A = this chain, B = another copy of it.
Amino acid sequence: MPPKYSKMNFSIYSDDSFMRMAMLEAKMAYEQDEVPVGAVIVSKNVVIAKARNSVQQLNDPTAHAELLAISAAAEFLGSKYLNECTLYVTLEPCPMCAGALFWSQMGRVVFATKDEKRGCGLYSPTIYHPKTEVSEGLFADEASLLLKAFFKNKR
C-alpha cells in the first residue's frame, strides 16, 4: 500500500504545518484549563511568535492568543505593521482580535474553525484590514473537537 503522503508533497513551510503548531498551542491551553485556542505568526516561513489563550492565567480579559502573538511579533520585528506576515489561529478571531489584526495590517489570516457565538464574521466582515487575505477551515474539525471537549468538561 502506498503511503498516504509522498515526501515530495510534504513541506515544513506549509499552512498545514504552521496550523499544526497553532493546534499544539491550543492543546497546551487546554491542559492549563484555558479555552483552547492557539496562534502562530509566520514571517517569510519563519515562526516569529507563538501564543495560546491565557485569560485565566494572566487574569486579563485581553489575553487572547492572537493579541499576545501580535504584540510579540511586532516586538520581534521592531515594527507595528505585520503586512508581510501570516497569522494561523485555531478559532475564528473575535472583534477584539480582528480589530488588532486591522491595526497590525496583518497580510494573511488562516483560521481553523468558525466561532458561531463571537466570531468577527457575525459582526462586520470589514473589521479586518481591507488588504488582509482571510481563509478558513484548515484543521477545523480537530480545533472544534478540542473546544467542544473543553466546554463539555466545564459543564
Contact = CB atoms under 8 A, between A and B. Distances in A.
A62 interface: yes
B80 A70 contact: no
A98 interface: yes
A72 B115 CA distance: 28
Nearest to A93: B99
Chain A interface, >50% SS class: helix
Given A100-B96, A103-B96, A127-B123, A71 B75 contact: no
Copies in the complex: 2
Given A95-B123, A96-B97, 12 more contacts: A55-B103, A59-B80, A60-B71, A61-B70, A61-B81, A62-B62, A62-B70, A94-B103, A95-B102, A95-B120, A123-B124, A123-B127
Which 7 residue pairs spanning A and B have beta carbons closest together? Answer: A96-B99, A95-B99, A61-B103, A123-B124, A61-B80, A61-B104, A62-B100
A28 interface: no
Contact of A61 (B98, B100, B120): B100
A83 to B, nearest CB: 11
Contact of A75 (B56, B60, B81, B99): B60
A41 B94 CA distance: 23
